[in-house]
Structure 1
Amino acid sequence: MSKKVAFLVASEGIERVELTEPWQAVLDAGHEAVLVSPKPGEVQTFDHLDKAEKRPVDLTVADAKVDDFDALVLPGGVANPDALRLDAAAVALVREFLTSGRPVAAICHAPWTLVEAGVLSGRRLTSWPSLQTDIRNAGGEWTDEPLVVDGNLITSRKPGDLPQFCGALVEALEHGAAAASA
């Protein structure tokens, strides 16, 4: 059965591979990927600090409803989650996804948005190492591992962890978030 996955990004600063590789994994598994952003139009991806491709927005945050999706992916890049955490509607959407029990997959700097959403208390996760103090201050338990699955929360540290991250995302779509941690 095909599932629908929201990929939430700001208008720029998205680490390209952290968007495109999970996106392709979702498509390869027979599911639908939808690019969601606070503003309509296009978003600018980056290869670290260099501009890469632009991608069209499919749906704005204002029009996105958690009940219309089976999972949420939060790609990293430093500027991307930093901008998202300043958008109250995007933060509310992330909070609603995580509390709904649907899988939420965040990589690299993306957990900054989870920090802002106030949903990390008692959760175990990983991220880019510079976020560990923010995560601990938000009540989360930070660990330096390629992949951490805590219930419906799937996290990885960096682009090098994408094979594990994408595998856990697809596993959660196929069998539920709890199965990904088994």
Structure 2
Amino acid sequence: MTDIRQARILVLATDGFEQSELLVPVEQLRAKGATVEVAAPEKTMEPGQITAWDGEAAKPGWGQKVKVDRKLAEVRAEDYDAIVLPGGQINPDKLRIEPQAVQLVQDFAAKGKVVAAICHGPWLLAESGLAKGRTLTSFASIKTDMKNAGATWVDKEVVTDKGIVTSRSPKDLDAFVAKIVEEVGEGNHGDRRAA
């Protein structure tokens, strides 16, 4: 069991992440005492930071810039208790073609760590083989993608399947973060890679 106040949580994102889906979990998890770091691939729009897509604004467009704490190439699953995968359409679509990003998600699952994805973030679960045989949710527009990846898709604010946490959209962020805290508190969930 890991107390959230001793937990280390990695947020994996790149340019085009949905602004609230990164900022809210980072803020709420830090407020609960967790150490939270943001990792991104080395190639981003601006060195050392990633730029949000603010889809909730009156006029959607590029949003806030967030400092990157670690390069994707230098992070290891064993150094963290959980990984959070924000959505937005651009961010997870870019990450799912990054072999290191896909491998990192697989490593978290193999080591029994919490894997949490919201909105379009579950695209990384599909790409890494973690959607197969699981019950999960996502943004409604990728429901068919999740089913094609072998998942049972449900329309709920938050779904957990053996330490893999998924939510639909920014309106579900409070439930999403609360479930991450709960799952981290449960400790290791065992190897969850598809057989």
TM over 0.5: yes
- In which range does the TM-score fall when normalised by the shorter chain? over 0.9
Does the 8 Å CA contact 1:25/1:170 hold for their aligned counterparts? no
Q: Percent identity?
A: 40
Partners of 1:110 and 1:44 in 2: CA distance: 16
Distance 1:161 1:177 in 2: 25
Contact 1:124 1:143 in 2 (8 A): yes
Using structure 1 for the length normalisation, give the TM-score: 0.93
Q: 1:43 aligns with which of 32, 50, 62?
A: 50
Q: In the TM superposition, what is the alpha-carbon distance from 1:41 to its structure 2 partner?
A: 1.2
| Offset from partner CA, 1:54-102 (integer Å, 9 cap, x none) | 0111111110000000100000110000000010111110111122211
Deviations along 1:16-75, one digit per CA (max 9) or x if unpaired, are 110011111110111100001111611001211311110111111110000000100000
1:169 shift after superposition: 1.0
1:31 alignment partner, one of 29, 34, 37: 34
Greater helix proportion = 1
Match of 2:168 among 132, 145, 157: 157
Deviation of 1:177 after TM superposition, in Å, equals: 7.0
Greater Cα shift, 86-95 or 44-53 = 44-53
Q: Distance between the aligned counterparts of 1:138 and 1:80, measured in 2?
A: 19
TM-score for both structures, normalised by structure 2: 0.87
Q: Which runs of 4+ in 1 moved over 6 A?
A: none
Q: Kindly tell me the number of residue pairs found equivalent between the two proteins.
A: 177
In 1, the alpha carbon distance for the partners of 2:110 and 2:186 equals 19
In structure 2, stretches of 5+ residues that fail to align are: 190-195
Determine which of 60, 82, 100 is the counterpart of 2:111.
Answer: 100
Taking the aligned partners of 1:77 and 1:22, their CA distance within structure 2 comes to: 14
Distance 1:119 1:174 in 2: 21
In structure 1, give the amino acid aligned to 2:132: S
Matches within 5 A, 1:130-149: 130-149=141-160
Q: Structure 1: state its 5+ residue gaps.
A: none
Separation in 2 of the partners of 1:107 and 1:20?
A: 13
Q: CA RMSD in A?
A: 1.3
1 or 2 for the larger relative contact order (CA 8 Å, sep ≥6)?
2
Aligned to 2:193: none
